[in-house]
Amino acid sequence: MSNKILILDFGSQVTKLIARRVREIGIYSEIFNFDVSLEKIKEFKPAAIIFSGGPASVNADNAPDISDEIFDLGLPILGICYGEQLICRKLGGSVGFADNHEYGKAELEIIEEHALFNGVNNKQVWMSHGDVVNNLPEGFKAIGKTADAPYAAIANDEKKIYAMQFHPEVVHSIEGDVILKNFITKLAGLTPDWNMHDYKDVAISQIKETVGDKKVVCGVSGGVDSTVTSALIAEAIGQQLTCIFVDTGLLRKNEAEQVCDIFENRLNVNFIFVDAKDKFLGNLKGVSDPEQKRKIIGKTFIEIFDEESSKITDADFLAQGTLYPDVIESSHPSGGASQTIKSHHNVGGLPDDMKLKLLEPLRELFKDEVRALGRELKVPEDLVGRHPFPGPGLAIRMPGNITEEKIQVLQDADDIYISEIRAAGLYDEIWQAFAVLLPVKTVGVMGDQRTYENVLALRAVTASDGMTADYYPFEHDFLGKVASRIINEVRGINRVTYDITSKPPGTIEWE
């Protein structure tokens, strides 16, 4: 029997969390759009199927629907929210508008002891629905309810079909992961076997098979995704891979040297280093509009990468560090809610008219899985765990025009801030932390001297995917220490401020 779970996506914003949770439990899972053909489902050979939530009403015209035959496959099924309503409507129950829409936290009351709830102590669950099941199909029974949903959890043990109105995949359903695990291991009978060590070997043999004796080029930025992509391909085909690193001059302090060290000394690949600092600075001269900066950096990058990669005349493949969330976002039934984020990723991206075939060995993985794979590949820890860094780099961390002097001041201040965060053991709790050099001068006094220098803003946020974020609640003493070190050690800054804006309404970067 296969040990994979197929998730049918009905358009919920949190479908990818289901895939994450299932993989965290140790079972490989993939998301398919709800209208995938039965043949494709059979081809995937799932051992169980999960129906996601979704924004539609099952009673609406054109509501996302599935073939009845899915129920004849004899596979265990778990329906979540819309998934529950769809199961009920298709199998003979009924669904109507709820008198009270339920959004947010609710308390699950277990009506009947059931393996689905084994070991569940905290019963807070997260609801988000306008419709509610009114009548159950034959063979189903209610096993849990909430104040507004009498059929908050239902089961048909004979057919192994289970469903719930709440979302076990979100963290606000406190022990939702236990419920998912019970479905997977106790009810569907699967044994967790998905781990990065085995995945690495499978991925390496797939790359060998795809690439054969051909050549591959890969653009690297020093970020986790492109480094792990390169390390994985290097392990598979070694010197058939050429990595190209374009130094924009807009990286963090010493970052270019670190990237060169890894690629020149630790990975068995061909490595091309392009020092393009002057070109980027020249093209950016006098530009202060954020979108203009992004466009210029993107265009300059592509020109340089194109020029360098075209010198490798016998390359057949272009490797890219595309991750699973990017793949899902572009095929999401809602049309992809994250277009802006995607265009961000493309800043470090590649020419449209290149004739190379794409090689995307990370396209099945989430970020934390990429990190785990990086560790399997012995990529240095400080790189594997590094905070995300935007393609346009420090250019969008200094509102106003860009000069070499400003870059250096910002690099030095940022380096102090980050090393203090690391020293305090806080680095891994934070999604992203960085300094922003403001084009504002203020008066200060140092010794007996009047100073008139720039303001630096510190930013640190917690987030799970960067789409929303909260500012990190540092202790005041910590902030005081960082501010005083920066003002004392970095010439050009005489005032430091901490940004306490969440996203929304702010964004993570200042530009």
Query: Which residue number, 330 or 484, has a Cβ lying nearer to ligand XMP?
Result: 330
- The amino acid present at 236, given as its one-letter code, is A
> Quick check: is 101 catalytic?
no
Distance CA 36, CA 203 (A): 25
Smallest gap from residue 393 Cβ to ligand XMP (A): 9
Catalytic pick from 114, 129, 167, 345? 167
Q: Are 119 and 178 in contact (CB under 8 A)?
A: yes
Smallest gap from residue 344 Cβ to ligand XMP (A): 3
Query: Which residue number, 481 or 503, has a Cβ lying nearer to ligand XMP?
Result: 503
Query: Which residue number, 21 or 294, has a Cβ lying nearer to ligand XMP?
Result: 294
Q: What residues form DSSP beta bridges with 129?
A: 102
Query: Which residue number, 3 or 221, has a Cβ lying nearer to ligand XMP?
Result: 221
Helix boundaries (H) for 105-223: 176-181, 196-211
Token pair of 336 as six digits: 């992809």
Crossing angle for the helix pair 339-347 and 290-309, to the nearest 10 degrees = 50
> Quick check: is 218 catalytic?
no
Q: What residues form DSSP beta bridges with 48?
A: 5
Smallest gap from residue 325 Cβ to ligand XMP (A): 12
CA triple 156-87-165, angle to 5 deg:
85
Query: Which residue number, 252 or 344, has a Cβ lying nearer to ligand XMP?
Result: 344
> Quick check: is 167 catalytic?
yes
Q: Are 413 and 425 in contact (CB under 8 A)?
A: no
Query: Which residue number, 48 or 259, has a Cβ lying nearer to ligand XMP?
Result: 259
3 state DSSP class of 211: helix
Smallest gap from residue 154 Cβ to ligand XMP (A): 39
- What are the residues binding ligand XMP (CB under 6 A)? 294, 341, 344-345, 347, 388, 390-392, 432, 466, 503, 507-509
Catalytic pick from 84, 102, 169, 235? 169
Sign of CA dihedral 100, 106, 109, 114: positive
Nearest CA among 409, 453, 456, 417 for reference residue 437: 456
Distance CA 455, CA 496 (A): 6
C-alpha to C-alpha distances, 425 to 226, 255, 420, 429, 496, nearest whole angstrom: 26, 21, 9, 8, 22
Strand runs (DSSP E) across 34-123, as ranges?
A: 48-51, 77-80, 94-107, 109-110
Residue with tokens 């063979």: 139
Token pair of 3 as six digits: 């040990």
State the catalytic residues: 81, 167, 169
